[in-house]
Amino acid sequence: MILLLCILAYLIAVSRLAYHAFAHDKLLAMANSGVPRSKEYAQHRMWRTPEAKLLFYAMIGGWPGAKYAQKKLRHKTRKQPFARQLNEVGMVQGAALGLFILIATAMTLLTPEAGAISAQTAPLDVQPAGAPPLKSLRPPAVRPAT
């Protein structure tokens, strides 16, 4: 259970990172649309985020945040190769998640319950021939007088 919570926290953090990277790139794209300011941004090394980096954030688990930012901010929606690649990342991650759930479900169904004793590990109550009877280590039960 803790592992699942850690994975969920990681995915939320990376999705937020991807969203903020898209938002920052959109902000710079809007600022760079005015040509006189682009020289100022270049002098301060405020370049836009490369598409490869945006796709990398999506690949390491930030696809939900990247897709949400793409829709909400209307950023990189017309760049067809990028939009297609972002959708492919989402399909691969969805397929991997489905495979993970399928394997986890199969492993849960195939393993015996935690408290059950299987036939292979059950203790045998058979005594060798001629051996004295086994004595219990428990004290005898005291019966109430009737």
Confidence band, pLDDT 50/70/90 cuts, at residue 46: low
Local structure of residue 1 (DSSP, 8 states): -
Tell me, yes or no, whether 43 lies in a domain.
yes
**Other C-beta atoms lying within 10 Å of the C-beta of residue 54:** 24
Mean pLDDT over 110-133 rounds to: 63
Number of domains in the chain: 1
Instruction: Classify residue 98: in a domain, yes or no.
Output: yes
Evaluate whether residue 25 is within a structural domain: yes
Q: Is 39 a member of any domain?
A: yes
- In which domain, by residue range, is 58 found? 2-107
What does the pLDDT look like over 74-92, one tens digit per residue? Answer: 877 777 898 889 989 999 9
Residue 66 is assigned to a structural domain of this protein: yes
Domain-embedded: residue 68: yes
Query: Among candidates 21, 20, 10, which has minimal Cα distance to 51?
Result: 21
Domain assignment present for residue 21? The answer is yes
* Residue pair 19/66 in contact by the 8 Å Cβ criterion: yes
In a domain? residue 115? no
pTM above 0.75? no
